[in-house]
C-alpha cells in the first residue's frame, strides 16, 4: 500500500507521470482532487464524478466532525460506505478551516465575537454552526480522520495568514513539527493510514527550506506544501513552490494544497507537483462563473498548452440573447447538449440548481482535460 511509482519523468522539466497505490484504488498523477466539503462535490452525482474523470475526492474533516459527526460516519461504515464512493478519499485535518474561517473569528449574536485560541496542546474554537466551543488537538484530528476511514489523512498544522510576521511564521513552523510528531504517534496506534506532513514557512525561504528538510526526514509516503494560496500574490505562490520543490524528496509525490487556477496548476506541474485540490472550479460555478477556451484579447495563457482561456460570468446582461454554448469542442454534458449561454444565465438568475450543476460539471471538465493535455505532453517530453 501507498507505493508511488514514477511512470515517466519528462526530460524537459521536473514534471512527471506516476501512480499512487491507495486502499481504495490506484490514482494516476498529476491529479486534481475536487472538494466535497460535507461528503458531496456540490450538485454532482457519483456518475458525474466518474464521467469527468475524478479519481480521488477531498472531504473536510472540520465540517464532517461538526455534522453529521465522525462517530456517526464510523458507525455507518466509514466515509466511503456512507457516501457510496468506492474510490480514494483524502481528508484534511480541519486545521485550515479552524484557523482561516474569518481568521477563527465567529460572530453569532451582535457584539459576540469569538476568536480561535491556539496553544501548545491544541486549538480552542467555536463552531460556525451554533457557536459551541470545541477543542481540537493533533491526536483528535487523527482520531476523527481514522473514524472517517479516508485513504490519505493530513497532519494537524498551524497555518498562519499571509500577513503573519517572520516571528509568527517561525513559531508556526516549529509547532507544526511538534504537532506532526504527535499526529504520527496517534496514527501508529491503530489504523495506520498514510499520514501526510505539511510544509509551512510563509514567504520566508529559509523557513520553507527548513520545513521541507523536516518533511524529507519523515517516512511519510506523500509530502504536502501548505500555507500557499492564503492571500499572497501569484508570484509569491510560484516562488514558494519553487523553493519547496527544490528541497522536497523527488521520489515521493508532492501535494500543493489549495492551488487551482489553470495557469497555476500548469506551472506547478512543471515544478514537479503531483497533487492538487481547490474549491475554485466548483465555487466559481456556484457564482455563475466559468472557464472557457478563448482567443479574445485579454485571455490568459496557460504554460505549455496551445490554448488560452477566459473567466466569464454568465450573469452579465450581455449573455441575455446569446444562443451559443460555452465551448463546442468541450466534452462535458453542458456543452454536448449545446445549452445556450442565454438559457444558462436564465437558470442562474432563477437560482435553478440545474444551472449550478451544469456549470460545475463544465469547470471540473476544463481542469481535468487540461491535466490530460499536460500528461500527454509530459509523455512526449515536450513539457
194 touches Zn ion (CB under 5 A):
no
User: Which of 48, 70, 92, 151 is the catalytic position?
Assistant: 92
User: How many residues of this chain interact with Zn ion, rule: CB under 5 A?
Assistant: 5
292 touches Zn ion (CB under 5 A):
no
- Which of 228, 306, 232 is closest to 271 using CA atoms? 228
Identify which of residues 153 and 332 has a Cβ nearer to Zn ion in the complex.
332
x/- map, 334-353, Zn ion, by CB under 5 A: xx------------------
Identify which of residues 79 and 332 has a Cβ nearer to Zn ion in the complex.
332
β-bridge mates for residue 90, sequence order: 58, 152
Nearest approach in angstroms of CB 331 to Zn ion is 7
Buried b (16+ CB within 10 A) or exposed e, 161-190: beebeeeebbebbbbbbebbebbbebbeee
Query: Of 60-68, 185-193, 294-302, 360-368, which segment contacts Zn ion by CB under 5 A?
Result: 360-368
Query: Of 35-43, 64-72, 261-269, 361-369, which segment contacts Zn ion by CB under 5 A?
Result: 361-369
264 CB-near residues (< 8 Å, 6+ apart): 234, 237, 238
User: Quick count: other Cβ atoms within 10 Å of Cβ 335?
Assistant: 19
x/- map, 318-337, Zn ion, by CB under 5 A: ------------x-x-xx--
359 touches Zn ion (CB under 5 A):
no
Active site residue 206: no
Longest distance between any two alpha carbons in the chain, whole Å = 62
* DSSP summary character for residue 317: G
Give residue for cell 482535460: 369
Identify which of residues 143 and 362 has a Cβ nearer to Zn ion in the complex.
362
Nearest approach in angstroms of CB 144 to Zn ion is 36
- DSSP H helices, 128-259, are 138-148, 166-189, 205-217, 234-247
Nearest approach in angstroms of CB 307 to Zn ion is 14
**What 3-state DSSP class applies to 276?**
strand
Identify which of residues 57 and 358 has a Cβ nearer to Zn ion in the complex.
358
d(Cα 345, Cα 161) in Å, to the nearest integer?
36
Among residues 362, 368, 374, 375, the one that binds Zn ion under rule CB under 5 A: 362
Buried b (16+ CB within 10 A) or exposed e, 242-271: bbbbebbeeebbbbbbbbbbbbbbbbbbbb
Nearest approach in angstroms of CB 145 to Zn ion is 34
Bond from prior residue into 166 cis (ω within 30 degrees of 0): no
Nearest approach in angstroms of CB 334 to Zn ion is 5
User: Which of 48, 70, 264, 277 is the catalytic position?
Assistant: 277
Subset of residues 228 to 247 that bind Zn ion, contact rule: CB under 5 A: none
Identify which of residues 334 and 367 has a Cβ nearer to Zn ion in the complex.
334
d(Cα 315, Cα 24) in Å, to the nearest integer?
40
Nearest approach in angstroms of CB 361 to Zn ion is 7
Active site residue 324: no
Catalytic residue ranges: 92, 277
Residues found near Zn ion in the complex (CB under 5 A): 330, 332, 334-335, 362
Amino acid at each position: 500500500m501507498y507505493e508511488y511509482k514514477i511512470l515517466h519523468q519528462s526530460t524537459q522539466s521536473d514534471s512527471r507521470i506516476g501512480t499512487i497505490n491507495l486502499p481504495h484504488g490506484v490514482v494516476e498523477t498529476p491529479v486534481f482532487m475536487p472538494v466535497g466539503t460535507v461528503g458531496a462535490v456540490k450538485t454532482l452525482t457519483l456518475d458525474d464524478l466518474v464521467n469527468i474523470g475524478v479519481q480521488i475526492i477531498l472531504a473536510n474533516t472540520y465540517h464532517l466532525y461538526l455534522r453529521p459527526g465522525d462517530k456517526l460516519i464510523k458507525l455507518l461504515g466509514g466515509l466511503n460506505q456512507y457516501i457510496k464512493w468506492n474510490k480514494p478519499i483524502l481528508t484534511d485535518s480541519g486545521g485550515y478551516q479552524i484557523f482561516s474561517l474569518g481568521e477563527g473569528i465567529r460572530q453569532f449574536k451582535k457584539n459576540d465575537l469569538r476568536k480561535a485560541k491556539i496553544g501548545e496542546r491544541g486549538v480552542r474554537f467555536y463552531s460556525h454552526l451554533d457557536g459551541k466551543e470545541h477543542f481540537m488537538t493533533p491526536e483528535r484530528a487523527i482520531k476523527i480522520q481514522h473514524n472517517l476511514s479516508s485513504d490519505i489523512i493530513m497532519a494537524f498544522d498551524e497555518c498562519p495568514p499571509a500577513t503573519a510576521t517572520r516571528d509568527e511564521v517561525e513559531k508556526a513552523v516549529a509547532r507544526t513539527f511538534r504537532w506532526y510528531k504527535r499526529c504520527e504517534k496517534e496514527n501508529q496506534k491503530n489504523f495506520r493510514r498514510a499520514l501526510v506532513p505539511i510544509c509551512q514557512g510563509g514567504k520566508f525561504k529559509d523557513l520553507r527550506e527548513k520545513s521541507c528538510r523536516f518533511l524529507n526526514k519523515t517516512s511519510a509516503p506523500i509530502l504536502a506544501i501548505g500555507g500557499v494560496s492564503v492571500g499572497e500574490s501569484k508570484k509569491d505562490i510560484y516562488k514558494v513552490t519553487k523553493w519547496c520543490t527544490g528541497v522536497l524528496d523527488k521520489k515521493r509525490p508532492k501535494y500543493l494544497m489549495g492551488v487551482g487556477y489553470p495557469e497555476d496548476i500548469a506551472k506547478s506541474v512543471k515544478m514537479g507537483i503531483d497533487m492538487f485540490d481547490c474549491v475554485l472550479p466548483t465555487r466559481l460555478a456556484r457564482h455563475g462563473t466559468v472557464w472557457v477556451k478563448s482567443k479574445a484579447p485579454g485571455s490568459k495563457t496557460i504554460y505549455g498548452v496551445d490554448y488560452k482561456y477566459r473567466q466569464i460570468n454568465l450573469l452579465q446582461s450581455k449573455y441575455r440573447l446569446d444562443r451559443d454554448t460555452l465551448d463546442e469542442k468541450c466534452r462535458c454534458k453542458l456543452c454536448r447538449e449545446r445549452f445556450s449561454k442565454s438559457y444558462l444565465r436564465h437558470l442562474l438568475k432563477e437560482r435553478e440548481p440545474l444551472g449550478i450543476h451544469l456549470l460545475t460539471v463544465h469547470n471540473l471538465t476544463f481542469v481535468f482535460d487540461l491535466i490530460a493535455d499536460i500528461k500527454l505532453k509530459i509523455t512526449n517530453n515536450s513539457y
